[in-house]
Structure formats: C-alpha cells, structure tokens
Amino acid sequence: MGVRFHGLSSGGMARPRGVLLIVCFISLATLWSCRLPKMCLYNQCNADITLGPIRQNSLDLSLPDAPFIGWPLERVCKETSWTPGIVFVCDDNSGGIGNIRNYILTCIRYAIEGGVTGLVLPQIRTRSSKNLASLMQQSRDFDYFFDESHFRESLGASCPQITIYRSTDDIPNAVTPFRAEKLTPRNLGRRGGCDQSDLNRHTDRWGELFQAFIQTNSEDFQLYPPSLAHPRAVRFNWGVQFDWPMYRDGPEFVATFGGLLRFRADILALGKKTAGYMRRFAANDAGKPSFGLQRDAFAGLHLRTESDALSAWPKYENQSRAYLERAGGMGFKVAYLATGNKTEAERLARTALTRHGLTVVTKHEVLEDHPDDLRAIEALTWDQQALIDFVVLLESDYFFGVSPSSFSMNVALKRHLKMEGLYTRPWKIGADGDGRSWLVGSYENYWKDWLYMYDSMWP
C-alpha cells in the first residue's frame, strides 16, 4: 500500500502544502517590492520635492536653511473646516527675533484652527536703537527679518486654503476705513483658577469657540457674519506669542512648523559666511581644543545683559561664570559671543583669556579681515544683526545661553532638532541639556521663571 500525499493535482503530481506556501510568499514579496518605489510612504508624502528619497528623520532640521517639510502642516490643514471671509492680521508683536518669530507662528496656528481663509502678510514692529526697552516703534515689512518667497510658497503648498494678502488694502470688500476686531484668543475659553501666564488650555475647542464668536454680528463694528462679500478682519492683542501648547500637534509638526519663517536670503548668507569665518578663526587659533574636539571647534555664548534685560534675570556674574567654567572644562579654546553690550563683551573676553585660556570674539572681530562683510553687517539694525548671531550660534559645537531669554531658548530648541530630525522629542529643561546646549537660569517656578515658554516656543 503506497503512501498517500495530500494536495495531489488533477494530473496526479504531488505538491506538498509547504512548497506552495513558499512559492506564494516569494511571489507576493516580489510584487510588493516592485511597488515600493511608486508608493507614497506616509513620512514622505507631500514633502519638499527637492528631498527625493532622503529619509526625513535623517535631515538636520537645526540648520537655518533646512528644507521645509510640509506634510505635518498639510495634515493639520486637512483637519480644518474653512470659512470664507475671515482674515487674520498678525502684526501686534514686539521684541527681538525670539518674540517676533513665535508671535507670528502662534497667530498662524490659531488662524488654521479657526478656519481662517485670509492672512495679511505679517509686519514686524521695530524697537528704538537708542532705548532698547522702547519696543513699540514703527512697523516694517515681513522681509525685515524673513524670506517672503519661501513663506508664501511653503504655506501655499501645504495650506492652499489660506490666501496671503500683501496688506490690509488688498483684502477684497474690506470696510473703509479699514479696521480689525481685537481679540485675545484665550479669552474665548473659561480659564478659572489659571495663572494668566499659562498656555491656552482650550485649543482643541478654540475653532468651535472662535466660529461662535465670529458668526455673530459685532455691535462695535456693525458687521455681518463673515463672507467674501463681507469679510471680517481680526487682529490679536499684544502678548499672544507664548500661548499655544505646541506638542498637542505632535513632534513632526513641532519640528517643521517653524521652518515657514526662514531668514531673509541676504542675511542668511551673511550669517553663514560669518560662521565659516569663525570656523577658520578657531582652526587657526594658537590654543587647540582638547577632549576630542575637532580642530576648528568653537563654543557659542549668548550674554543677555543689555539695558532692556529684566532685573529678575541672571546677572552678568551668573552668566559669565557659568559659561566660562563649563566651556573651559569641556576643552574649548575659542568661543563666539553674541551680545549687544559692548562693554561687558570686552570684560568677558578679558576674563576668559586670563583665567581660562579661552579666546572670545564677537562677529565684529571675526570680520575684521573681511571689510565688505563687516560693512554689510554694520548696515543692519540691532535686531537684524541678532539674526547673524542666531545663525552662527546654531553652527557652534556647544551653545551656552540664559533662560528666560527667548533668543537663547529659541537657539537651544532649534539646535535640539539635530538629535532625531523630524521625530525629535521635547528638549528637557532644567537639566544638563541635550549634549548640544545648556542654559543658565532658575527652573523652580513654572510661571515665575517663565518655564511655560518651553511648552509654547516653536523651534
């Protein structure tokens, strides 16, 4: 009696079931692999077309000119219900680049959540060159700081539902003379018991609350519910720059959203040239770094002691001592200093050299042998020159700053994106940093020490 095989074909050939499974598996794998190049994998959909097959989480998003990754923004925009006729005016800002940048981004994020279909290209409020604490001076155009073409292209590609108007004069059918309704967004939600410095805890419901607000007639303005024929313009009140709990949108959105605001091309180019000169200076300096640092390694320092610095912030002694001790202990021999206080810059440089063998220079000294570039920087305003420092500090091998300076925080958070690119986790505050940055400051009280800014500042 012969052995009987299961799965005999009609022709009597024996085909063991295991062999058939293997053949099927190989066939499916072959078909699937052929499809892969044509597929739009989720973390590559809607990306900047210049990226090609590069894995987005391997990109260095800490660079000041990193490619803009648009799909996280597009995803948020697709979740929104849009209302024609609502226009946001995001210009009631003030301060340096940290404050201005975050105000504009926060205003845009509220606009998306509220279904706003019009945005006036933000203007930038300047400060007095003679009195840095005098912040509410005349407004300048968007390109005072930022690259307008990049902003329009990036926002337009990811969120085409929003029309960008160059000025309030370009809003179709706007009331004459133009006027905008003033609004503080957190006031639309009940916040009983909250510290007034706290973030807006109603952002998930804010779109619904805003629509209820905007669909009613305004007694002050006697306006209709919004439509293309009767647009409603809204201008946020001052002080909205640290308001949105950013990580509600996920790390991918947080890591990319700030890329909408790239520095103006000529300022960015000048900053990158200055960073290159700084590398060359560090490599040629007589004192070479130790502890495994590269020959051209340099530390970045932000000394925040200008006349408008608040009295509760760490003083010169706290900042300088912490910076120099740590930088020297890490083996640095050269450091780049960003500050608007020339007197204390010279004081810090003397102390650094005599006590720590550390050569400290500012952008002006770095550019002494490059007079054309030096003249170009000196032609910029005080706040525009800070953008040069921002770019160089991003390039430094280790950054030392001060909390709660929004400039220092912004540099540290932007540098943190180098860790895991698109999927970088939040920077841990009040500890030893992330191996790339460290900020001196008090981390005891969430509101008093302004720690809420770490939860609401876009890198």
CATH number, residue 327:
3.40.50
Query: 151 to each of 59, 70, 156, 253, how far by Cα in Å?
Result: 20, 12, 8, 16
Q: What share of the chain is helix, strand, coil (3-state, %, to 5)?
A: 40, 10, 45
Residue 454 lies in a domain: no
Q: HSE (CB half, 13 Å, CA atoms) of 141?
A: 7
Q: Which of these three, 206, 225, 260, is where a domain ends?
A: 260
Residue 173 lies in a domain: yes
DSSP code string of 178-220: ---EEE-GGGGS--TT--TTS--TTHHHHHHHHHHHHTSPBTT
Residue 442 lies in a domain: no
The pLDDT assigned to 127 comes to 74
Shared domain for 196 and 299, answered yes or no, is no
Two structure tokens written together for 361: 């220079």
- Other C-beta atoms within 10 Å of 52: how many? 8
Query: 411 to each of 149, 309, 395, 419, how far by Cα in Å?
Result: 24, 18, 10, 14
Q: Which secondary-structure segment (H or E) carries 337?
A: strand 334-338
Residue 20 lies in a domain: no
Shared domain for 229 and 320, answered yes or no, is no
Shared domain for 138 and 177, answered yes or no, is yes
pLDDT in tens, the chain (459 residues): 443 333 333 344 444 455 444 544 544 444 444 443 333 333 334 444 344 434 555 689 999 999 999 999 999 999 999 999 999 999 988 788 999 999 999 999 999 999 999 999 999 988 766 655 545 568 899 999 999 999 999 999 999 999 999 999 999 999 889 989 999 998 888 777 777 778 888 899 999 999 999 987 665 556 678 999 989 999 998 888 899 999 989 999 999 999 999 999 999 999 999 999 999 999 998 677 777 889 999 999 999 987 777 778 889 999 999 999 999 999 999 999 999 889 999 999 999 999 999 999 999 999 999 999 999 999 999 899 999 999 999 999 999 999 999 999 999 999 999 988 899 999 998 877 799 999 999 999 988 899 999 999 999
Residue 225 lies in a domain: yes
Shared domain for 275 and 157, answered yes or no, is no
Task: Check: CB of residue 404 under 8 Å from CB of residue 304.
Answer: no
Shared domain for 122 and 243, answered yes or no, is yes
- Between CA 455 and CA 248 the distance in angstroms is 10
Shared domain for 86 and 141, answered yes or no, is yes
Shared domain for 202 and 324, answered yes or no, is no
pTM: 0.85
- Between CA 117 and CA 398 the distance in angstroms is 42
- Other C-beta atoms within 10 Å of 374: how many? 17
The pLDDT assigned to 189 comes to 80
Q: Angle at CA 129, nearest 5°, toward 125 and 132?
A: 75
Which residue type does 165 have? Y
Two structure tokens written together for 331: 């083996």
The pLDDT assigned to 225 comes to 85
Task: Check: CB of residue 264 under 8 Å from CB of residue 150.
Answer: no
Q: Which secondary-structure segment (H or E) carries 334?
A: strand 334-338
Residue 158 lies in a domain: yes
- Between CA 53 and CA 213 the distance in angstroms is 45
Q: How many domains does the chain have?
A: 2
- What's 90's DSSP letter? -
- Between CA 211 and CA 232 the distance in angstroms is 12
The pLDDT assigned to 222 comes to 60
Q: Any idea which residue has 């920087």 for tokens?
A: 377
Shared domain for 178 and 106, answered yes or no, is yes
Q: Could you list the residue range(s) of the whole structural domain that residue 190 is in? A: 49-260
Q: Any idea which residue has 């912490």 for tokens?
A: 322
Residue 324 lies in a domain: yes
Residue 186 lies in a domain: yes
Shared domain for 178 and 281, answered yes or no, is no
Q: Which of these three, 260, 295, 315, is where a domain ends?
A: 260
Shared domain for 96 and 163, answered yes or no, is yes
Q: Which secondary-structure segment (H or E) carries 355?
A: helix 342-356
CA-based Rg of the chain, rounded to a whole angstrom?
A: 27
Shared domain for 291 and 242, answered yes or no, is no
Shared domain for 234 and 313, answered yes or no, is no
Q: Which of these three, 383, 402, 421, is where a domain ends?
A: 402
